Amino acid sequence: MTLLHQHNKYMKSKESHEEMIRDNEKNFVEGPNMSLDGSFKHLSREQIEEVHRQIDFRMEELEVTGLSRNEILYDDPNSGVALKDDPFFQLIKNSHTVREMLITANEEFTADRVIEKALR
């Protein structure tokens, strides 16, 4: 089976060609404007610092519990490393630059989103 055959097998049928063009136009026009509420370019420095303060507070709360990532996410008490010893969690907890790098261009920069990524 050739790569072209595999590619054609997963492409939409010819009847939906106009629909595909409409989807492309819609994504081209609406794509960059989908989540303007919280992306970095629309936040002031004070708002970004406020989000960092929230992250600091909440990550400290999580670390004090003594739980591991597996206990928090999967309720599995027999596996995982405590968050105070988890290198990835500590990297995110201690570096504002790393937190900001975790967030993609049009993604909202919120404490919830950063902590979710830190735990995954």
Q: Per residue in 22-57, pLDDT tens? A: 766 666 665 555 544 445 566 788 888 999 999 999
Residue 84 has pLDDT above 60, yes or no: yes
Supply the pLDDT for residue 36. 46
Q: Which residues pair with 68 in a beta bridge?
A: 82
pTM of the model: 0.62
Supply the pLDDT for residue 60. 93
Supply the pLDDT for residue 27. 63
Supply the pLDDT for residue 32. 54
Instruction: Answer for the pair 38, 111: CB distance below 8 angstroms, yes or no.
Output: no
Give the residue with greater pLDDT, 98 vs 7: 98
Supply the pLDDT for residue 73. 81
Buried b (16+ CB within 10 A) or exposed e, 73-105: eeeeeeebeebeebeebeebbeeeeebeeebee
Residue 106 has pLDDT above 50, yes or no: yes
Instruction: Answer for the pair 72, 58: CB distance below 8 angstroms, yes or no.
Output: no
Residue 88 has pLDDT above 50, yes or no: yes
Domain ranges of the chain: 40-119
- Six token digits for residue 2: 């050739």
